[in-house]
């Protein structure tokens, strides 16, 4: 195990990872991670618009991890389930921007709905995406946490690119959802 720490460090360095975290998330920890991202971006990125976009995307992604894992825990009585929302996040500095990667477990029955939502978002040009955001904002439907379906649309708007995603079946009830959001400069 001891040699692997150096390998892990090397690998993260090679991938130009600015920040990575795997484990249980709490609101306080999200605040701390966002603070770290903000400080790092101030040194790395001279364009304030890109700085803000990266911050926004990381914030929405972390809050997605926080909320969606909680749902899985509440909805399913899994004796082996982690006591807190688990997730993984990695932010890498690329040649032409930043990559925000996140992963979390979600309920298997919700996979198709999320996939359709992401495909719809990826199929829309910028102006239609803005219209979709406005319609969703005005639809009067509140989610449990207030967002009501705006999260991924906002992430896509701030990214300016397509959302890369994948689902890996985990057990009969759940799947692992991976998301890569590129914010290009």
Partner 1 sequence: MEGNPKTPTVNFDPETGLFELKGRSIPENSIDFYKPLIDWLDRYGRSPKAKTALHVQLEYFNTSSSKCILDLFKKLEGIRATGNEVTVLWHYEADDEDMLEAGEDYAGIINIPFKMIQIEEVDGN
Binding site for partner 1 (CB under 8 A): 27, 30-31, 34-35, 48-49, 52-53, 55-56, 59-60, 63, 66-67, 130, 133-134, 137-138, 142, 145-148, 150-151, 153-154, 157-158
CB of 155 to partner 1, least distance (A): 9
Nearer to partner 1, 17 or 117 (CB): 117
CB 85 within 8 Å of CB 25:
yes
Shortest Cβ distance from residue 168 to partner 1 (Å)?
A: 26
Query: Whose Cβ is closer to partner 1: residue 17's or residue 19's?
Result: 19
Shortest Cβ 55–partner 1 spacing (Å): 7
Residue number with CB closer to partner 1 (48 or 169): 48
Beta carbon nearer to partner 1, 15 or 122: 122
Least distance in Å: CB of 171 to partner 1? 27
């Amino acid at each position: 195990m001891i040699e692997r720490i150096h390998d892990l460090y090397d690998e993260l360095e090679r991938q130009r990872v600015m920040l990575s975290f795997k484990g249980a998330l709490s609101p306080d920890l999200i605040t701390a991670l966002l603070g770290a991202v903000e400080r790092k971006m101030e040194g790395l990125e001279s364009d304030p618009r890109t700085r803000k976009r990266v911050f926004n995307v990381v914030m929405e992604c972390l809050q997605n991890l926080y909320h969606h894992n909680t749902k899985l825990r509440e909805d399913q009585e899994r004796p082996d389930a982690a006591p807190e929302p688990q997730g993984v996040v990695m932010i890498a500095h690329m040649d032409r921007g930043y990559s925000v990667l996140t992963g979390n477990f979600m309920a298997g029955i919700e996979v198709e709905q999320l996939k359709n939502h992401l495909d719809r978002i990826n199929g829309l040009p910028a102006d239609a995406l803005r219209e979709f955001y406005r319609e969703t904002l005005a639809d009067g439907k509140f989610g449990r946490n207030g967002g009501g379906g705006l999260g991924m649309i906002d992430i896509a708007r701030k990214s300016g690119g397509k959302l890369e995603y994948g689902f890996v079946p985990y057990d009969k009830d759940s799947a692992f959802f991976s998301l890569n959001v590129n914010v290009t400069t």
